[in-house]
Amino acid sequence: VCVAAPPHPLIHAAAVLCGADEVYRMGGAQAIAALAHGTESVAAVDVIVGPGNLYVQEAKVQLSDRVGIDGFAGPSDLCVAVSPGVDLEPLALDLLAQSEHGDDSPVVAVSEDAALLDALAARLDADRHRGIRVLVHAADLETVLAFLEGFAAEHLQLAGADVEVLAPRIRTAGLLLVGEHSGTAFGDYVAGSNHTLPTDGRGRFASGLSARHFRRRMAEVRIDGDAADALARAAVPIAEAEGFPAHAASMAARMRENQSS
């Protein structure tokens, strides 16, 4: 396990706690290139994961035919679905916290209740909120759900009376945070979910970083004579229909009547 990061005592301490084998004092797209190709002083690796700026992400994508990657990450986003019966102050702080990731980080609030959105907007204005802010007033709960599933937020918080109605129906969020106390910052640091999540709507087809990114599967096939005979009788016509006579012949040769002994 290798870590590539600019020198910082906290990063070094974290690497030791995590059992890293090597720590390289480097960063940026050049670090991705070094890890993927290898250099005189950096051993080539099989998988590269983790966040980074736009250049780091692009380098990972361009080298994804050489090494495994977790996906393209960024800019980070947060969507909060708000319904009555919730304290808006912590939610406003959640949105503000998300904007700390950068001016290009979208923060979105959606609700059936226009008054809730107005009150939330007032709190964001008071906090001198930066970044991309979108408030969505939905006609009804089904419209809220349709928006959430289409937006496929990296972080999706559900807060208020409608939480238990919405939560079981969410399928596309990178991380689903249920209840007004489940702030996004907990997910970033200590809740147990991974901080590297699909962004920009990629939750429709991708998942957050997990152990599966460091594992691979291999199929193993063992066919005895009886099974080969039965399978060939089923598969030979398919190969012939596809126009692959050698495929068909290789299987037909294993039929009992075609075997020499």
* The pLDDT value given to residue 259: 72
* The pLDDT value given to residue 188: 92
Does the annotation count 155 as an active-site position? Answer: yes
Of 101, 112, 155, 213, the active-site residue reads 155
CA 128, CA 51: separation in Å to the nearest integer? 27
In which residue are the tokens 């598969």 written? 235
Question: What domains sit in the chain, N to C, each tagged with a CATH number?
Answer: 2-69 (no CATH), 78-214 (3.40.50.1980), 225-258 (no CATH)
Q: Nearest CA to 214 among 27, 15, 80, 47?
A: 47
Residue 107 has φ and ψ, to the nearest 5°, of -120, 130
Q: Which two tokens stand for residue 164?
A: 């238990």
- The DSSP output letter for 135 is E
* The pLDDT value given to residue 74: 80
CA 75, CA 172: separation in Å to the nearest integer? 17
Of 101, 112, 154, 180, the active-site residue reads 154
* The pLDDT value given to residue 70: 94
Residue 156 has φ and ψ, to the nearest 5°, of -125, 115
Per-residue pLDDT of the chain (261 residues; tens, 9 = 90+): 999 998 899 999 999 999 999 999 999 999 999 999 999 999 999 999 998 999 999 999 999 999 999 998 888 999 999 999 999 999 999 999 998 888 889 999 999 999 999 999 998 876 666 778 899 999 999 999 999 999 999 999 999 999 999 999 999 999 999 999 999 999 999 999 999 999 999 999 999 999 999 999 999 999 999 999 999 999 999 999 999 999 999 999 999 877 766
**Strand, helix or coil at 3?**
strand
Residue 80 exposure: Cα atoms within 13 Å on the Cβ side? 33
**CA dihedral in degrees (163, 173, 47, 32; nearest 10)?**
-110
Contact in structure between 86 and 92 (CB atoms under 8 Å): no
* The pLDDT value given to residue 131: 74
Q: Which two tokens stand for residue 209?
A: 């970083």
* The pLDDT value given to residue 125: 76
Q: Nearest CA to 77 among 115, 25, 120, 133?
A: 133
Is the pTM higher than 0.85?
yes
* The pLDDT value given to residue 83: 96
Give Cα 73 distance to the centre of its chain.
8
Does the annotation count 154 as an active-site position? Answer: yes
Contact in structure between 106 and 131 (CB atoms under 8 Å): yes
